[in-house]
Chain A
């Protein structure tokens, strides 16, 4: 069941006390934040497990303010910075006033007390009350990066497996890609995408080392769905297919790599990729 924003009774104020501070890892093991915001590959908001819908969510300025706040870090973001992001062509005082009015509307939209905290003209999204998939993803991918060098330990490998699956589930697509043509989501979008690609290559190598070739191949294929021009992914996929005896798939991976590089850059696969291919033919 969705929550129609017109239903006033569902906009009730939460009576929770303000959190004493920011949780360091609010996403891990916690599902009790009343507000959940999905920004990876889609944009949706859930309030107490029910999706919000309505005109305000799809195209309203309040939602843009929320998206900009998340994009700019979500914590202690200056109102002037938000004004400049959302009303770049508007006079400073007027733009600032727009932010204040829009913030009021955003607070009303959620009806969750203390979700949006304003201190010294700086706005924060209270992570004790609001969960954001992009933030959860970034914390987890950073955690995974720290685990990767320890992957010789089987316990760490199991932990990495869980983290890896969670990361893939979280990353449904690029950050706010379909929502706005504005530039403010770019930095976070590119950073998350870059971290994901690095993680895929890193965790794939771990699975290769422990002989889990199919699992590694699954990661590489997912990476190629996100960026079909990353030659290193084709190389690793070819190796995985070779090791599992799927020579036809390995050759298909090479041919796809060749086609993609030729059509985009008019270049051939690198000597390393070509030598993998030659070895397959033998």
Chain B
């Protein structure tokens, strides 16, 4: 039912509204009547602004329990695996590079997007940054102190010298691949 289709005077509209059962509710956004099932169903309760047909198709796909069971069986396994991998890689990166988990994520993201970052920031680096900084990072002598804070400095210098982060990122990737190969061969 649409209010825009044809001329509807207020009196007839009022009569029609009074005839509607109390359980019906008008969806003002989609200009359609919500049924009791759509209002109290799972998909409709999560997003009441969905059109009725779309909500019904989602309910239909969930009803046999097929999609739900698939999601519930995949997710715990894959997230559990990711969680164990993250926990096992954190001490390795901490010992080798002095990177905490958050710092590692920053370096990984900055390194992955370094070309774009370099383009956006001009791609220049001043003295003591860029390759020079990366060399010092590798030698364990940072610009501001011991190598324990490598990640924070690398992340802080990401906007100024993306190439330094790229080099550190490449080094981390090679180290990670080597560690994986070693653990696979010894397991």
Decide whether A and B are members of one complex. no
Query: Which B residues form the contact surface with A (CB < 8 A)?
Result: none
Footprint of B on A, CB under 8 Å?
Answer: none
